[in-house]
Amino acid sequence: MDHPSPTHRPGPPSTEAREVELERARATERASSSERRMFELVCAYADDDVFVLVKPTRAYVDDVIDAVRTDGVVRVIRDAREGGRETKLCGEEARCCHRLDRDTSGALIFARNGNAVKSLAGQFARGTVTKRYVALCAVVDDADEGTWGSGDLVRVESGHGRARYGLYRLYDVNDVDRDLPGNNRVKRCVTTIRVERVVEGVELEYCEPERDGSNARLALARCSPITGRTHQIRLHCASLGLPLAGDVRYGGPIRVKSCASASTSAIGDLPGALLHAEAITFRHPRTGEDVTVTVDPPDWAHIE
């Protein structure tokens, strides 16, 4: 069967990048499989039906779910509704309503009862939940700066699917609904991206030494996924020549060696992609009113 070909950017990861990704996954697995992974979970919003936690970076969602549901796990949750009083939000009825990648930090919604589960599951399925992420990206030499350089909101639309070896890749939008290997199909994928600032004079290090640069640039972008495909923001940023810092799978640098204007959290080894879910809006399952929850971004998002 004739399958569609992925777009040239981002291409498949190098051997060096694959090795780094494998070790990152192993490190997270080791932490996950320790007797019980301990989390300090900050609650950004809570009521009788819903609560929103701040997922830590380099943590699997399943580990956060276990921490919420399992008695005996030490959890310190600052309940926004109770003015910062420590409390516990746990129990078998709590259901996580969506997923975040291992490296992605930020807002993660839980439903506290059956009605809330049904309502929020329907909203995610219909695509009516709106999300905003902040990303720190590297600017590659052949970046599509004519597309995003003005600071305007850019709508990126493409196909999305698994290629050989299970890698997620982008496809031409005209290939949507075409068959892929492994009984998969190309699906529509849409993200809006706005580059808010570009930082000059950065020294970056990549898994591939030939790509290292002492006069490189970083870009801070805010992204909203319209669809909900795996690695969507990471892929679409990379397609514009803006791979996320730390995202070696899709062409990002592994280290920021120097940057005069960067916070300390954006300098040094990058243990994962710098991506943070900073805002989410949903319709409350009981009142029907829109609720927007915002989560303070990490220090690296304040780069100037």
Q: Inform me whether the pLDDT recorded for 8 exceeds 50.
A: yes
Q: What is the CATH number of the domain that holds 250?
A: 3.30.2350
Mean pLDDT, the chain, integer: 87
220 and 297 housed in the same domain? no
209 and 295 housed in the same domain? no
Q: How many domains does the chain have?
A: 2
218 strand-pairing partners: 138, 199
d(CA 105, CA 98): 13
The three-class DSSP label of residue 93 is: coil
d(CA 152, CA 196): 9
Q: Are the CB atoms for 60 and 102 separated by under 8 Å?
A: yes
Q: Please report, as a single letter, which amino acid is at residue 12.
A: P
Confidence of residue 73 (pLDDT cuts 50, 70, 90): very low
Report residue 174 as tokens. 């005209």
d(CA 2, CA 80): 54
Cβ count near 90 (within 10 Å): 16
- Give the distance from CA 170 to its chain's centroid: 17
42 and 168 housed in the same domain? no
Listing DSSP states for 44-75 in one string gives EEE-SSEEEEEEPSS--HHHHHHHHH-TTS--
Within-domain flag for 29: no
Residues 6+ apart with CB under 8 A from 56: 39, 64, 105
DSSP annotation of 201 reads: E
Please report, for residues 31, 53, 109, 231, 284, the alpha-carbon distance to residue 46 in angstroms, rounded to integers and kept in the order given.
28, 9, 10, 28, 12
Within-domain flag for 28: no
Q: How far apart are the first and last CA of the chain?
A: 50
The predicted model scores a pTM of 0.90
d(CA 267, CA 221): 18
The per-residue pLDDT for range 232-270, each reduced to its tens digit, is 999 999 999 999 999 999 999 999 988 876 555 567 889
DSSP annotation of 295 reads: -
144 and 15 housed in the same domain? yes
Within-domain flag for 31: no
Range of the domain at 117: 36-126+281-304
120 and 136 housed in the same domain? no
The per-residue pLDDT for range 103-144, each reduced to its tens digit, is 999 999 999 999 999 999 999 999 999 999 999 999 998 888
